Structure 1
Amino acid sequence: MTNPETPSFVSTQVTEARRFYLDLNPHPDAPLAVVCGGWEQCAPDYRVSREDFPYCCLEFVADGYGEVTTGGNKHELRRGIAFTYGPGCSHLITTERKRPLSKYFIDFSGHGALALLESCGIAPGAILEAGDPARIESALSRLIDAGSTPSTNQTRIAVLQLESLLLELTDHRIAAPGQTQSYQTYLRCRDYIDAHYFTLNTAEEVATACHVDPAYLARLFARHARESPYRYLLHRKMTHAADLLDSGRRIVREVASDLGMDPFHFSRVFKRTLGVSPSDFANRREVKVK
């Protein structure tokens, strides 16, 4: 259902909202259930103060400014900031009058809800910053669409969208407050690899082109991608190689030559990266098209 009477725990201090309601009384044995969610434009006098909350909740700021206080700690709210709360987690949310908050919220429950948040490093009371706010906003919009579109598998789709959202948020979070510049430098270096991987051979070449120290480049990728820049470069190269082999227009030796690699070294790297040898990968394609 998408338009029941507004529950008491949903704020009415908004000027515009798009909400959905799936199950306000989820079964206690459900592992994970999306209760409700949506987007809301806060009124200038928006103020929500709760000592408790019946569900786990994730909120994400799309625009505007405000503050949230959880566990006695006050945090600034602005675009890209996400925060969580839940049962037993008191919280106070306020907005700036001249630049009211525009934000998303997702309420969910189930005996696996808390464990899911904890596994993503965002247990109730957590504050984090998304390095790619547009990506998270897109994921939230898909979840709202799923919750607002009646279908046979609506509740299951919503749960899968929620899990995907939390994983996206975990993968694209800024590691700690004050590291926005660090994350932007990482994105600049990653984007350079994405655009030039075909001609790059070493992480040092990336560092030189991006005007950063090689050791700093390694730390950036370890912090924000949990892998080395060279490993990321190899994965981009091998994914491209797989596309060439899958097209049927290149044989293994030619693809290795295109990438400037010795065929034997190419085969080892391809298998280490994608799990199968390039010849086996190409043979699978031949079997598939017969």
Structure 2
Amino acid sequence: MEMISGQDETTIELKQGEHATFWREESYDSLECFKATFLRHEYSPHTHDTFVIGAVVSGYQRHKLKGSESVGGPGSVFMLNPEDVHDGRPLEQGYTYRMFYPSVRLMDEIAADLPGIRQSGSLFFRELMCDDKRIARALIEAHNVIEHSRDPLEKDEALFRSLGALIDKYGSWSTGLLEKREPRAIARVCDYMQAHFGDELNLEMLANIAGMSRAYFVRVFAKNMNQTPHSYLTDIRIRAARKLLNLGRDPMSVAIECGFFDQSHLNRHFKRRIGITPGAYKNMHAHQN
């Protein structure tokens, strides 16, 4: 794997024909930006604590979004909420896409200034993917501007106009960030995993917290969270790992602190969720700081 670093971004050369570029824009609440061409790489089902907004540039990707199977091609727009479970795998000759990972605060800031649509509650998207060539083109153009322009006003306008148009057309509002449907028992387990992600957890322990048998707990958790307890815990651990890597911590110590068996265990899950290795992710942030 070869790493090519520029002033504001790090490009990772993966398997033959595949590459990914990751960078962060601190002025937009640490907005992370990602562009990639994948021919074989497959994402495991996972979630983010940010929104996931972007578009397919070329090629086709098959994926499940909250359990629903679909295919995205040129003109497809992704607008996933925080905690929406999704995966992805290439079809035919692979695909190229560009993605933003805007925080809830940034999206709320943009939505607050849109005339006539702001309602009480929090922003979310009912439709997680759509075919909308106009919106897709605007997002891709904004992504290009954010990547290459040194003019802050040009970057501001491109980002706020493209995300604003998306929110204006597809945004909805709820009384909470997400429409929470999990029973209180599952919420207790999620809180416990958030607080103890670095510990060695097992099914019996989590089922006892929920007050359920192990078999019943697995079914109820998957039904309400759209992923298994292990997948949910891995997402928590990966988020914690990203924060530590951002601070310059070495992947080996991060792996142990976040509950992984060793660095190779972290590497495998990190790449299947983020698209690059922990070492490359750390180097990207070290280059920018």
TM range (shorter): 0.3 to 0.5
Bigger radius of gyration: 1
RCO higher in 1 or 2 (8 Å CA, sep ≥ 6)?
2
Query: How high is the TM-score relative to the length of structure 2?
Result: 0.43
Which of the two has greater strand per residue? Answer: 2
